Chains A and B, each alone.
Chain A
Amino acid sequence: MDRREFLRQVALWSAGLSVGVPHFTIGEALAADDRLPLLAHATGKNYRDLVDRVLSPLGGMEKFVRPSDKVVVKPNIGWDRNPAQAANTHPQVVRVLVERALDAGAGEVLVFDRTCNEERRCYVNSGIQEVLAGIKDKRLKFFHPDERKYVPVDIARGKAVRRLDIYRDALEADSYINVPVAKHHGLSRLTLGLKNSMGVLGGTRGAMHHNLGQKLADLATVIRPKLTVIDATRILLANGPQGGNLNDVKVLDTVVASVDPVAADAYATTLFGLRPEEIESTVAAHALGLGEIDLKKIKVITA
């Protein structure tokens, strides 16, 4: 099923026009091309600058956002924690990405996350609400997800999960930019890009945790970011995913970006001294053909 047909079905279902059980499938080719995936990483104290530096070898934001595109920038705002505690994406990283998407001529830029703690507290305490309020551009929409806009989607390629409720805007985005923070997680060991996509799911997400790695890979067959930017400006080494103890935080001043979501996760895993194969979701996603796990087959550029 091609993307246009899929979007038509999303619209029809949302408008209550399609009959019967909502039924969507995505079966298009998963791996984009055979070339070595490009991955850029940069280190530095100026976080605004960092984002620009990693974008540039990938072709700049213009490569990912065309004029009048509907863009989703999806940070991790899951927890009622402040930026220093490393539980949410750093507000400056989010801000620069939003600004660059606007600069590239996006029709609209949507920023949201379905939080774990109370929604408003997360948005405020993460610092993201404040920095985005500083961007005076009507195309930027920073909002709390609307209960009505979750659409059931059949995960045709899924091995562990068959159907998920997914936020409509995430499905409809012309350009979906995933901006996770790299941190520790009790069950999956780390939460990176693939795990961050859980923020567009509706319903009870707890059940995702049974066979989490495979389910995240299944979700990644539908939520396919054009760009993954992993915030490792500071990483959480223990008591994740929400942390709270500054002793568990390590400042790395690093940002990683790639077109390949699996490669981005695989590389970011090494920042914790772990091997990519130790993260189940990365392994499962690679097995589904969603991207590269082998670091030797990833072209890493220090920007």
Chain B
Amino acid sequence: MKTTRKIPLYYWRRLSQLACLALFFFLFIRTDYSGSDTIEYAVNILFRIDPLLALSASVAAGFFILLMLPAVGTVLLTLILGRFFCGWICPMGTLLDGCRNVTPNTQTGKKRTYRPLKFYLLGFLLVGAWFGLPMAGYVDPFSILVRGLALAVDPALNALSATFFTYTYQEAPAWVNAVTEPVYAFLKASVLPFNQKYYDLALLSLGILLLIFFLEKLERRFFCRNICPLGALFAVTARFSLLRGKAGSTCGTCRNCREVCRMGAIDEDRTISMLDCNLCLDCIHHCPGNKISFRFGGQSRTKPFFALSRRTFVGSLAVGALLPFFLKSRTLARQSDELLIRPPGALPEEEFVGRCVRCGECMKVCIGNGLQPAFLQAGLEGMFSPILKARTGYCEYNCTLCGQVCPSGAIAKLSVPEKKKVKIGNVVFDKNRCLPYAKGIPCIVCEEHCPTPDKAIKFREATVENSRGEKVTVKQPYLIDDLCVGCGICETKCPLPGASAVMVTSAGESRNPAKALPDTGSAWQVI
């Protein structure tokens, strides 16, 4: 490769970054119901080319997850081109580069104090995944990005526009509305989500995302240099890459290349470390002597500028191997949370948590706003994994989108008839709250909404005394366990203020035979 006079090489890199970012946002917006039962493309492709998540999920699963095969391609390309992914493709990297103008005091940074951190982290994550503490999704850049956008930014953007355009609609004169209303309609049809959604951990997800941007204050691409375990995986691979950067060693006192390097990849001797270099090609442009070039072949491998402490590395592996056993001492290991209701098609719990990459796509695509990120319901290792919180939203009976967008197969892709046979939970009534039972007031909203063709919620007529002492005949709901799929629409629609009088629990979920119910489970049919 040579420096061309006309179009500097870094222009191409920027073009690639912008194109990939645009594609990312496009896919992000398209990760939604579009009028068809099947979703043609979604942002999950980003997670399927991510070798960290592919490796971590596969290690946890105990076999290679074919759905994540594209990640192998990324590794192969890294063997040829080095960490091009970080510089040319990664949407998180592009956003960090892009926000440089927002955080102008950024130091380029040449210290290497924290550089080994990401390798320790990588070791810990992979060993942890093997032993049953899958946490790669906590720190994977795409997971952090998509989660932050889906759970916090997207709903906030919608709330902001709704507030603004409600104000103009209600307060502004007609001529203003002649402008604002078409703008709102356009935004709704293009970038805004279809409706307002609400998420648990919205602020935490946003905070983690923002933290990465704040770290830019310390040095450019702080996250990429020091923390990103995906970057670590690329660095290990890029060490053997065919493409090598070559800088001048006889160019006197000029240190322009070192000054501009966003990854701190160039040392005092102006050797370019392919472990760090993300091929941004800025140095070529800034070298007054045109002494920097990138060529295939040359020296066989680069030495890292920093020394990994063997003791720390082994230590991090040991933590990854031992910590999971402490999880076994929790009560959670014996008795899972009864409100831990997983999406339809979710694998058995241990496999599910192992494979879930915490990308938040299922929650983004869930049209009922039923899927929420777990906090501690699934333990420390299950944070941000999806659970159904049926008071906020429910699982739409004919919808199978979550399984379609899951990049790792933690939620299996089910056909509509298959999905309807999956039971994700079972409903219990609180007769102390349920109006026909507790107050003698007619209601039956739960029965009305129950979606199974033969309704799982049925009612009996009963004559009871209401709070005024009158004898009234009301319809009291009850459940046929066999028919209930656990979708939770009854809990969502229950008209009581506060807690619902009908609640889904994970009892009877079909992925766990140990939770079989007396009415349905074969284990009970001995009598």
Contact = CB atoms under 8 A, between A and B. Distances in A.
Given A117-B396, A147-B162, A242 B35 contact: no
**Which of B166, B396, B445 has the largest count of A CB atoms less than 10 A from its CB?**
B445
A65 to B, nearest CB: 26
Interface in B156-171: 162, 165-166, 169-171
Contacts of B441: 210
Given A118-B399, A120-B35, A187-B442, A148 B495 contact: no
B447 A186 contact: yes
A204 B500 CA distance: 14
B155 to A, nearest CB: 14
A121 interface: yes
Contacts of A91: none
A207 interface: yes
A14 B495 CA distance: 27
Contacts of B379: none
Contact of B170 (A16, A118, A187, A210): A16
A199 interface: no
A241 B451 CA distance: 10
Nearest to A185: B448
Interface in A103-162: 116-121, 124-125, 129, 147-148
A26 interface: no
A239 interface: yes
A204 B435 CA distance: 16
A150 B166 CA distance: 12
Contacts of A207: 495
Contacts of A210: 435, 441-443, 495
Nearest to A244: B453
B447 to A, nearest CB: 5
A186 B33 contact: no
Interface in A194-217: 204, 206-207, 209-212
Nearest to A129: B35
A244 B452 contact: yes
Interface string B151-189: 000000000001001100111000000000000000000
A187 B443 CA distance: 7
Given A209-B443, A210-B441, A242 B451 contact: yes
Interface residues of A, number: 32
A120 B459 contact: no
Nearest to B495: A206
A29 interface: no
A162 to B, nearest CB: 17
Nearest to A280: B442
A245 B397 CA distance: 14
B452 A116 contact: no
Interface string B426-456: 0000000001000001111101110111110
B171 A16 contact: yes
Contact of A206 (B170, B171, B195, B445): B445
B45 to A, nearest CB: 23
A1 B421 CA distance: 55
Contacts of B447: 186-187
Nearest to B369: A118
A15 B170 contact: yes
A180 interface: no
Interface in B481-502: 493-495
B398 A209 contact: no
Given A80-B396, A209-B443, A186 B170 contact: no
Interface in B1-54: 33, 35-36
Contact of A121 (B170, B367, B475): B367
A234 B397 CA distance: 23
Contacts of B459: 186
Contacts of B398: 80, 121, 125
Nearest to B493: A206
A119 B194 CA distance: 10
Contacts of A118: 33, 367-368, 396, 399
Interface in B351-391: 367-368
A276 interface: no
A148 to B, nearest CB: 5
A148 B166 contact: yes
B449 A186 contact: no
A93 B217 CA distance: 63
Contacts of B444: 186-187, 209
A204 B495 contact: yes
Contacts of B368: 118
Contacts of B396: 80, 117-118, 121
Contacts of A261: none
Contacts of B475: 186-187
Given A186-B475, A209-B442, A242 B449 contact: yes
Interface string B103-117: 000000000000000
Nearest to A143: B185
A221 to B, nearest CB: 21
B455 A239 contact: yes
A121 B455 contact: no
A206 B459 CA distance: 17
A25 B449 CA distance: 32
Contacts of A211: 442
Contacts of A187: 442-444, 447-448, 475
A121 B399 contact: yes
A14 B367 contact: no
A297 B435 CA distance: 39
Interface in A239-258: 239, 241-245, 248
A80 B489 CA distance: 13
B35 A124 contact: yes
Contact of A148 (B170, B367, B451): B170
Contact of B33 (A16, A120, A147, A242): A120
B430 to A, nearest CB: 16
A125 B171 CA distance: 37
Nearest to A206: B495
20 contacts: A15-B170, A80-B396, A80-B451, A116-B449, A117-B396, A117-B451, A118-B368, A120-B33, A121-B33, A121-B396, A186-B444, A186-B455, A186-B459, A187-B442, A187-B475, A206-B445, A239-B455, A244-B452, A245-B453, A245-B454
Interface of B: 33, 35-36, 162, 165-166, 169-171, 194-195, 367-368, 396-399, 435, 441-445, 447-449, 451-455, 459, 475, 493-495
- Leading 10 A-B pairs by shortest Cβ distance: A206-B495, A244-B453, A245-B453, A16-B170, A187-B444, A118-B367, A206-B445, A186-B447, A16-B171, A148-B166
Given A117-B396, A211-B442, 10 more contacts: A14-B170, A16-B171, A116-B448, A118-B367, A129-B35, A185-B448, A204-B495, A209-B444, A210-B495, A239-B454
